[in-house]
Structure 1
Amino acid sequence: MTPFLRSPPFPNVDPAVAAVSLPVDGRAAHGVTDAALDQLRVARVGGCFWGARPDPVRRLVRVGTPLDARVFVEMDSDQIGLLPGQGAAHVGGRMLPADCDPWHMIEGAQAIHAGAEDDWSLIAGLMGVPVIGADGVAVEPARLHALLRARLTAAQYRDPFSGAPINVSQAIAQLADWRRHLDGNRGLSAASGMAFWKREAIRAFLWDGERSPPFVSARRGLRKAQREGGALAVWPSRVPAAIVAQAEAEGIPVARVEDGFLRSRGLGAALHPPGSIVVDRSGIYYNALGPNDLEKLLATQDFSPALVERAARLRARICASGVTKYGAQGVGLPALPKGRRTVLAVGQVDDDLSVRLGGAGVVGNLDFLQRVRRAEPDAFILYRPHPDVQAGHRKGHLTDAAALAHADAIDSGGSLMELVQAVDAVHVLSSLTGFEALIRGCAVTVHGMPFYAGWGLTHDVAPPSPRRGRQRTIDALVAAALILYPRYLDPVTRLPCGPEVMVERLANGSTPPVTWLIRVRAMQGKLRRFMTLAAEFFHG
């Protein structure tokens, strides 16, 4: 018998790898509690939950089920949904796809006509929708619940990322995570601005259970979204602002896609594909000038104790493993003076959107360093350039003389997180380093307005945002920023995963191999870096 808890048919993933449940002979050793059924009802998983969502109907009929035709006399055929089955259809209606979301269709229906053991009937029993059997009599909910328990115990469950055995509650939780991921992708008509070397990963990230949005030019994507009544997914830095403005003026939804806060080892500028992205329907996390989905999560939602506890465990694992956005770095710390306050000033890319939209008026690394010195006149300031700038990929380079006019030393090779924990305070503009420092319990002063500022966790130099101001714990911040907001793609199985899996993969070095594109990009960066240093030498 086909298991009730089934995995979506993820593209380019072996179904045996994705499977969370396998049939067994007889009954498995585990039982199914009322709490598990409640969990299933809330998660809305089971059956083809990833499928199409046709327009709702009043009655659902499994083809081949005997019917009392009088029930349907006053109903239009488009109000009757026919589910594929064996035998003849005893009533006219609209034939539904074989794989469509039963939870969506049953939710709006008055009743379903099908056998009591049908997947759709079992779901209807959970949702309180009447099930009319072949004898024309409504099936008792208690019987439907008993049949569902039997189906759930007629399977064994596995963790798709490790292959280890799990219980039915853990299997439901995994499918619920996948449902949340896929539901977040629905309605994307097209994708624009994604670099060609990212597209394979982005295609997997944006699959909605049926399809991934096609990659087209921004203008074609705009027209396609308009025709279909869907949204246009864009990579903000690679799509003309005029196109986004036009979409918003015409009422076409825009979903902004960016790297998440945990990514595969290596820099995006060096063509390492992302292991995490965010898809933001109301803005983007680094734009402090307007709202975004992450800010709304932090400002409006109350997180359950279970979610906050999960965030605390995740934070502890991140700290223990040493995982950061930029992966492994060099070892060794610079000499820091004893008996004097030490401050780490973290540089950024001058033209980065997070600086332009979340910098609160700070203009580039030199301006930032000057402000840090004014705020910390007696401290020993260690300046850390951004790695993309150091690699020669992005703007923001300061000569040693310019940096040392305000800082006491420059460091560019040691472990950033070890350094963060070795100093007395960290100063950032809008860098993600400030968030990673907070996770590790460090004091952080923020000169811009990044997503983690304004919640009572940082010393904020910039004026507060009226959309923020709610006091949040560090674990609530982690729950929003690392669990609810991003999507992750396991580099081993290529399945959507949770942050816990990604942290384990990063900690164990399980990442995609270095490609020829990455090698070429690294050579380009070294050449730019050499030319910059040569220009400094010849021009003093």
Structure 2
Amino acid sequence: MGQVHELGNGDIGTLASLRGLPVWRYALPQQGGTDHREPTPLDGDTVLHGLLSDWHYIDPFDKRFTDINNIIEILTLWRKIIDENRHIGACVGMSWWKRGRIADFLTIPPTSPRFVRSAAQALRLCRERGASVAMWATRVPPGLEEKAAKENIPIWRVEDGFVRSVGLGSGLQVPASIILDKRGIYYDPAGPSDLEHILATARFDPQLRQRARHLGHYLVHKGITKYGRADQAGIAGWDSGGRRTILVPGQVSDDQSVLRGGGRIRGNLELLRAVRRHNPDAFIIYRPHPDVTSGYRSGALNDKDVLSCADHVSYGGSIAALMERVDEIHTLTSLAGFEGLLRGIRVVTYGGPFYAGWGLTTDMGDVPWSRRGRMLHIEELVAGALILYPRYLDPLTRLPCEAEILVNRFEDPALWRPTPLMQVKTAYGRTKVMLLHRISQGAWASRSQSK
């Protein structure tokens, strides 16, 4: 483009002048006083001065007046996301109930991404466009990865972010944070991931470190974990007798982070036995995973089996509040380990979670040291995992946002009110838990009578 001729005061001329292009504006006939056939040159410096001094800007998230620097940062984020989304040719493996939200994350306004069911459909669309497949990391259609590799079609793996929502994904609460990983996936230490690459190579400048420090402090102060700001009450007490207190967070037994990142340990009971073996004199607290206690996922353990290794089973209340009352967290790959690091708690890992291997944890499991080993400060881990790696979406405006916008939205319960579908799922989960408990109690009584 050599020069721009514009009728009236339009945005195209303004943007072109900022790029240093010659711009000529023709007055509209109804404006009067000027011959609309004689153009007026538009000076870029004059336009820039007007943008800085004369214009008023409103933040799209809080509707308050703001400055142009904040608006430029917001627009830069939106532009970056839209440019990335242009490389996605099809989405596959997305549950039907979350497709609307995934479309918000992956849209190229005014269009939405194509959702398909089969590997063949996804590969055909991406082959035609020379694009990538966006695939939910734990719902891989048979043959997709092998066929995509043969055809040199990139796969982007999609998963929930580490600060996700108020409510469980297994309870059908849509995510307000996701990750798109072009190298692998963060919970599989067998191969590289974008998060691992960020943590191993990124330059964490002072501004980013300060932002990460403030974000981490806010999460701790507000008691925010992956599933939002939980109730701080309801933690049952215990008497440790002055012993060192260890929290062992349970995980979903068939979760990919356990299957791929657990190494030699394959379940909660096996983890508890390992923790007890290494810490014979400690007071061990076991905390079942909320997906399991809600009846949505597998991995429930009988309290009697748990108490053969642990001293106390913790139900109810916020795990964030529970963390404040323990000395250490021993975990396989649970995100609770990362959340414990935010709180300055000693964390011991028995698998290969994304936060292991950076000098912040005591690592007992199989960590890919050849790709890790860089010593990080907790602020740098937070910057990589919560700022640089995920995408966030404001649940109010449904616009891309930064992490700070989302965590502030946790203060508004109206944004996270359960839908009728979520209420049905909750009722189903409670019924399932009750039935399983009765079956378990009946089996235990039968064994006792037989003895």
Superposition TM-score, scaled by structure 2 size: 0.89
Question: 1:378 is matched with which residue?
Answer: 281
Q: Deviations over 1:136-193 (max 9, x none)?
A: xxxxxx9534432323433111221111221121221222222233233221011111
Question: 1:226 is matched with which residue?
Answer: 127
- Residues 333 and 418, structure 1, Cα contact 8 Å, conserved in 2: no
* Correspondence 1:167 to 2:67: yes
* Correspondence 1:501 to 2:410: no
Question: 1:320 is matched with which residue?
Answer: 221
Question: 2:16 is matched with which residue?
Answer: 120
Secondary structure of the 1:270 match is coil
**Aligned amino acid, residue 299 of structure 1:** A
Secondary structure of the 2:379 match is helix
For residue 432 of structure 1, report the CA deviation from its aligned partner. Answer: 0.7
Question: 1:301 is matched with which residue?
Answer: 202
Question: 1:471 is matched with which residue?
Answer: 375
Question: 1:40 is matched with which residue?
Answer: none
Q: Deviations over 1:374-412 (max 9, x none)?
A: 121110101011111111111111111211111111112
CA spacing shift, 1:527–1:263, aligned 2, 3 Å? same
Question: 2:257 is matched with which residue?
Answer: 354
For residue 277 of structure 1, report the CA deviation from its aligned partner. Answer: 0.8
Partners of 1:228 and 1:172 in 2: CA distance: 31
For residue 86 of structure 1, report the CA deviation from its aligned partner. Answer: 6.2
For residue 209 of structure 1, report the CA deviation from its aligned partner. Answer: 4.0
Structure-to-structure mapping, 1:3-42, within 5 angstroms: none
**Aligned amino acid, residue 16 of structure 2:** W
For residue 338 of structure 1, report the CA deviation from its aligned partner. Answer: 3.9
Q: Deviations over 1:3-45 (max 9, x none)?
A: xxxxxxxxxxxxxxxxxxxxxxxxxxxxxxxxxxxxxxxxxxx
Question: 2:307 is matched with which residue?
Answer: 404
Structure-to-structure mapping, 1:80-479, within 5 angstroms: 117-122=13-18, 124-125=19-20, 131-132=21-22, 144-219=44-119, 220-327=121-228, 328-329=230-231, 330-465=233-368, 466-479=370-383
- Residues 445 and 461, structure 1, Cα contact 8 Å, conserved in 2: yes
Partners of 1:356 and 1:195 in 2: CA distance: 21
**Aligned amino acid, residue 390 of structure 1:** T
**Aligned amino acid, residue 117 of structure 2:** S
CA spacing shift, 1:243–1:436, aligned 2, 3 Å? same
Secondary structure of the 2:56 match is strand
CA spacing shift, 1:439–1:184, aligned 2, 3 Å? farther
**Aligned amino acid, residue 194 of structure 2:** D
**Aligned amino acid, residue 67 of structure 2:** N
- Residues 322 and 507, structure 1, Cα contact 8 Å, conserved in 2: no
Secondary structure of the 1:491 match is coil
Partners of 1:352 and 1:522 in 2: CA distance: 20
Partners of 2:319 and 2:23 in 1: CA distance: 65
Structure-to-structure mapping, 1:34-73, within 5 angstroms: 60-61=1-2, 65=5
For residue 272 of structure 1, report the CA deviation from its aligned partner. Answer: 0.7
Superposition TM-score, scaled by structure 1 size: 0.75
For residue 508 of structure 1, report the CA deviation from its aligned partner. Answer: 3.8
CA spacing shift, 1:499–1:121, aligned 2, 3 Å? same
Secondary structure of the 2:147 match is helix
Secondary structure of the 2:57 match is strand
Give the % identical residues.
44
Q: Deviations over 1:224-264 (max 9, x none)?
A: 11111001111122222521222123211111111111122
Secondary structure of the 2:204 match is coil
- Residues 333 and 415, structure 1, Cα contact 8 Å, conserved in 2: no
Partners of 1:347 and 1:512 in 2: CA distance: 25
Partners of 1:118 and 1:515 in 2: CA distance: 45
Question: 1:512 is matched with which residue?
Answer: 416
Partners of 2:163 and 2:435 in 1: CA distance: 32
- Residues 323 and 507, structure 1, Cα contact 8 Å, conserved in 2: no
For residue 285 of structure 1, report the CA deviation from its aligned partner. Answer: 1.1
Partners of 2:416 and 2:79 in 1: CA distance: 26
CA spacing shift, 1:176–1:498, aligned 2, 3 Å? same
For residue 61 of structure 1, report the CA deviation from its aligned partner. Answer: 4.3
Which consecutive unaligned segments of at least 5 residues does structure 1 have?
1-59, 66-84, 88-97, 103-116, 126-130, 135-141
**Aligned amino acid, residue 175 of structure 1:** L
Q: Deviations over 1:88-119 (max 9, x none)?
A: xxxxxxxxxx99xx9xxxxxxxxxxxxxx541
- Residues 345 and 427, structure 1, Cα contact 8 Å, conserved in 2: yes
For residue 326 of structure 1, report the CA deviation from its aligned partner. Answer: 2.3
